[in-house]
Structure 1
Amino acid sequence: MDWKTQKVLVAGSGKSGIGATDLLKKVGAEVIIYDGNDKLKEEDVLNKLENKEDVKVILGELEDSVINEIDMMVLSPGIAIDAPFVLRVKEAGVPIWGEIELAYVIGKGKLAAITGTNGKTTTTALVGEIMANYYDKVDVVGNIGNPYTTTAFDSTDDTVTVAEISSFQLETIHTFKPDVSAVLNITPDHLNRHYTMECYTDVKMSIAKNQDSNQPIVLNYEDPILREYAGKLTNRIIWFSSKQKVNPGVYLEGKNIIYADGKKETFVTTTEDTTLVGIHNVENIMAAIAISINMDVPVDIIRETIRKFKAVPHRIEYVETINDVIYYNDSKGTNTDASIKAIEAMSRPTILIAGGYDKKVSFDDWAEAFGDKVKCLVLLGQTAEQIADTVKKHGFTNIIFTESLKEAVDECAKNAKPGDAVLLSPACASWGMFDNYEQRGDMFKEYVRAMCEK
């Protein structure tokens, strides 16, 4: 494509939109940034750009005259594909891409792409470190925090890109074709955006829709949705399983993690030779092994990287021990399945902080997971009442309501006894009370560590 002939509307002025605009400017396209928030200031939007020369900014209403003059729209993942202005652009016959498609088309090199409801960030970070310990030029991008568009222009044929891809980003791919793809699991999430589990599943599985028959997709054999969907796939499937032997794939045999390629079985590592806790992290490690071997990394490099790898921030992250009470930050637990994994990883009686933005999901399975682990539930946010009603139906009544995260931490400190754990694992998104889950987790750590100073 001759980008110098293209007039592109970039929808959204956040991190994704700015990354897309910067990339489009580098390849010579004419760019208009559109944001429906008319309270923004044009100058503030332009000041985010590397090169703001000749970039036009439209805030508030998007006129038909603008739609009629553009060749393409790049849609930020935070904007729904059925938003009214998006439907108008689509009806006008204008191609709609996302940032992932844009970066893929412009970028070069090999690509491993990882999606799933939970475990994406840990697996992507681990695969990124494995690649960096073997290849010379590695970019870790996508939903993990660094937009793919920020690295695509400088990539070469020798670049290896490891991308964490969300369902929102997959809605707007067209030719996106990873050398290795992975879907770690699929459980209910973002149904306020995708409406049905069938739609959510189809979007997640579209990560592999353009792959050739010889290009692998790594799947979790213990996920019933993935096992069923596998029959629809035409590319090569590499399974991983924490419960049974799979071949080809990665499996757990006692404490040993084994890779089978259909011809031979190779010992990779053990569950004791890692700092990551919980069976869900064993599965993340197995997925990373399958991806890395199929990206041609030697097993000894993989083994050594796993041994040294540290947990990513905000995912069952150790914070402090105060009066023999251990505080864990699992702010990345933004849905019920992720929070269940964190609860299962606890080895002490646990005071659980939960609640937040309502994504229209059920909390029944989450409440059932409390078992004898959760001794007290501290709630905050939009979903507090809904969660309380649900856990009461399941026989759990030790509930404390709070108005802020600071109050929640204070209540935990009052109620915790030596030998307990305090776990922030909200089972909900952070929106409404916080900018993102990182801010929520950082504030939790700040409040906890402030107690050490008293």
Structure 2
Amino acid sequence: MKNISIFGYGVTTKPMVEFLNVQGMKCHIFDDKFLCASSDEKGNVFAPSSEFKPQNSKLEIVSPGIPPYHPLVKQAKNLIGEYDYFYNLFSSAYCPQTIWISGTNGKTTTTQMLTLLLLHRGAKSGGNIGTPLAVLYAQKVPLWVLETSSFSIHYIQKAYPKLYILLPVKQDHITWHGSFEDYICDKLKPLTLMSQDTHAIIPKEFHSTKEVKNFLGKIFFYENSMSLSEEIGITAEDIKFKEPFLLDGLLALEASKILFEEIDITLLNSFQIGKYRIEEFRDKQMRLWVDDSKGTNVDATIEALKRYQDKKIFLILGGEDKGAHQNPIFELVQKWDIEIFSIGSNQEKLLKLSQQYGIRFHLCSELENAVKKIKHILGQDGVGLLSPAAASLDQFSSYKQRGDLFKQYVLEDLEENKDKK
């Protein structure tokens, strides 16, 4: 008897396994982290990736975190992504309206803002954040607002949204996709699947791409926050948020206007920006620190730096850079009052760039060391900024853990740290 195979056992696939079990189906789950085969009380089998046998599998559901060059993906004969799986279950009895939000930075904030604007219509967030797709489907949620990664889009063959929102696309996840060009292609891929009764909000720079030219629905282009505010019919000053969150809010308003002809600025302005993204706080000496641990790529870090360019910046940089070039950061700040404190696996690369651009550099290796060094020299006119331009998994379990530890180290007394040693 052939099995349903699950590739990767993580945030998205765990609820998928539970969903399938409720339907009376058992799963064979393959993941590199499993060292030997085991099973649970529901009859699911957990096995190392090397034990996958395509001849024993009738369907392979892939976690978006599994890259296309992984042996599991290369061996699969009936591969499907999570989005396609649930799209295939939609019917006349239940076919929710779906909004997908993608791009390099700002996906989470835009998704949360739009969900707030559409709560009265039964909207719930899902995808990378919020409620798993399996739960959205089981609860028969009428409106899915999905933060959609390029990983998920890569594996889509049929599914498409009613509205696709694409935030600016910058270099990121180059290792996973193979090239920046392939990354862009995946970001534009939904346009190739969408029908005539759909809408898309796309950066104007992509207006001449084949995906845009062949798009069947109605498309709205934007260049920046000013062009978006003009399209909506408001002034940017009506929105309380500064960049980069201003763009996120305007995109949410534009989406609400397109789908439902609603523009609720008061409700949008009630939104609270989440943790780990340009989150300001002060230490016991009332010095300014900023947790931008969610700044996991170059563009996100550049946006954070622009907010504080009038201050002396003590920047904590580094981690798993996913193959992206870090040069734009150094080109931007080479004439600024800035010092860089490196952590993570790419710090030797950062050291060479600092030497090339003549920027003062501290090789710290660990986050705690970087914070300690900054504490000794940070003044009231400066800012201690964690904006790594890199993923966290080389040293931390997540960007959240990195941000939490950053705040913990900042708020600890130096004398307390000395006593711990």
TM-score, with structure 1 as normaliser: 0.84
Give the C-alpha shift of residue 53 in structure 1.
1.8
Inter-partner Cα distance in structure 1 for 2:101 and 2:67: 21
Q: Is the 8 A contact 1:322 1:452 kept in 2?
A: no
Inter-partner Cα distance in structure 1 for 2:2 and 2:381: 63
Provide the identity percentage. Answer: 23
Change (3 A) 1:388 1:145: farther
What is the letter of the counterpart of residue 113 of structure 1? W
What are the within-5 Å matches in structure 2 for residues 396-435 of structure 1?
Answer: 396=359, 398-435=360-397
> What residue ranges of structure 2 are gaps of 5+ in the alignment?
417-421
Q: Is the 8 A contact 1:356 1:428 kept in 2?
A: yes
Say whether 1:271 aligns with 2:240: no
Q: Is the 8 A contact 1:102 1:149 kept in 2?
A: no
Give the C-alpha shift of residue 313 in structure 1.
1.4
The answer for the alignment partner of 2:419 in structure 1 is: none
The answer for the alignment partner of 1:253 in structure 2 is: none
- The correspondence for 2:258, drawn from 285, 291, 294, is 294
Change (3 A) 1:117 1:63: closer
Say whether 1:58 aligns with 2:41: no
Q: Is the 8 A contact 1:20 1:74 kept in 2?
A: no
Q: Is the 8 A contact 2:225 2:247 kept in 1?
A: no
- The correspondence for 1:375, drawn from 332, 338, 345, is 338
Give the C-alpha shift of residue 370 in structure 1.
1.6
Q: Is the 8 A contact 1:186 1:226 kept in 2?
A: no
Give the C-alpha shift of residue 225 in structure 1.
4.5
What is the letter of the counterpart of residue 247 of structure 2? E
Q: Is the 8 A contact 2:124 2:131 kept in 1?
A: no
Q: Is the 8 A contact 1:213 1:236 kept in 2?
A: yes
Give the C-alpha shift of residue 220 in structure 1.
2.3
DSSP 3-state at the match of 1:351: strand
Change (3 A) 1:414 1:15: same
Inter-partner Cα distance in structure 1 for 2:163 and 2:15: 24
Q: Is the 8 A contact 1:352 1:374 kept in 2?
A: no
Q: Is the 8 A contact 2:165 2:202 kept in 1?
A: yes
Give the C-alpha shift of residue 76 in structure 1.
0.7
The answer for the alignment partner of 1:31 in structure 2 is: 27
Q: Is the 8 A contact 1:314 1:330 kept in 2?
A: yes
Inter-partner Cα distance in structure 1 for 2:156 and 2:337: 41
Say whether 1:141 aligns with 2:126: yes
Q: Is the 8 A contact 2:321 2:389 kept in 1?
A: no
Give the C-alpha shift of residue 40 in structure 1.
6.6
Inter-partner Cα distance in structure 2 for 1:392 and 1:217: 44
Inter-partner Cα distance in structure 2 for 1:155 and 1:374: 53
Q: Is the 8 A contact 2:8 2:29 kept in 1?
A: yes
Q: Is the 8 A contact 1:330 1:441 kept in 2?
A: yes
DSSP 3-state at the match of 2:316: strand
Inter-partner Cα distance in structure 2 for 1:404 and 1:177: 42
> What residue ranges of structure 1 are gaps of 5+ in the alignment?
47-51, 251-256, 261-265
Change (3 A) 1:236 1:312: same
Please tell me the root mean square deviation across aligned C-alpha atoms, in Å. Answer: 2.4
Inter-partner Cα distance in structure 2 for 1:443 and 1:297: 43
DSSP 3-state at the match of 2:51: coil
What are the within-5 Å matches in structure 2 for residues 224-263 of structure 1?
Answer: 224-225=205-206, 228=209, 230-242=212-224, 245=227, 250=228, 257-260=229-232
Change (3 A) 1:40 1:425: farther
The answer for the alignment partner of 1:18 in structure 2 is: 14
Q: Is the 8 A contact 1:335 1:427 kept in 2?
A: yes
Inter-partner Cα distance in structure 2 for 1:294 and 1:95: 37
DSSP 3-state at the match of 2:219: strand
